[in-house]
Amino acid sequence: MRVLVIHAHPDPESFSHAILAATLDGLARAGHDSTVIDLYALDYPGGLSRDEWRAYETHSPVLDPMVAEHVDLVRSADALVFVYPTWWSSLPAVLKSWLERTMVMGLAFTLDERTRRIQPGLGHLRHLVGISTYGSPRWYVKLVNDNGRRTITRTLRLSTGGKARTTWLPLYTLDGRTPESRRAFLDRVRRSMETLS
């Protein structure tokens, strides 16, 4: 299976990078073909420019060559795996920017010319995986709606026509975790990726 892993954390020494390594290890053990988009390592640009916004509903919404490359990677993937920390109850800004600039018309969806209704465009994806750390406990994350999780397992899944299976691997209260519990989470991530099908 071809798996595209999208990672968003600025510090290469972070626990998020350890999660990324465990993710790739598990995918490799299962024989999957993995490609990583490390958004901070790429110095990924911010939100939509005025020109991109104006092009958004055209037949050529992608203006940046890097974004065009990412669109092609999504088109050829069987699964998307997102690895990121939850900040301010949501996705890091760079990951939100990636979704806004990559998941455009012609890829994530199409618009019916007559009715202007959205039609799913990611029906080829078999699996969506989210792996996120949280500074807060589970009860608090649930109280504030866990917006990143909803974006990946609900909103993005709708673009697959509801066909993609979803997996969510959360680690709550990261700062209060012992080294042993962090290692256990990495093992859980590795095992989950080994069984991805």
Closest to 170 in 3D by CA, of 191, 148, 154: 148
- Please name each of the domains of the chain with its CATH number: 2-194 (3.40.50.360)
- Report how far residue 108's alpha carbon sits from residue 70's, in angstroms, rounded to the nearest whole number: 12
- Report how far residue 105's alpha carbon sits from residue 24's, in angstroms, rounded to the nearest whole number: 30
* Residue 115: partners with Cβ closer than 8 Å, 6 or more residues away: none
Q: Which residue has the tokens 């709606």?
A: 145
pLDDT of the chain, 197 residues: tens digit per residue: 999 999 999 999 999 999 999 999 999 999 999 999 999 999 998 888 899 999 988 889 999 999 999 999 999 999 999 999 999 999 999 999 999 999 999 999 988 888 888 899 999 999 999 999 999 999 999 999 999 999 999 999 999 999 999 999 999 999 999 999 999 999 999 999 999 98
DSSP for residue 152: I
- Report how far residue 140's alpha carbon sits from residue 79's, in angstroms, rounded to the nearest whole number: 29
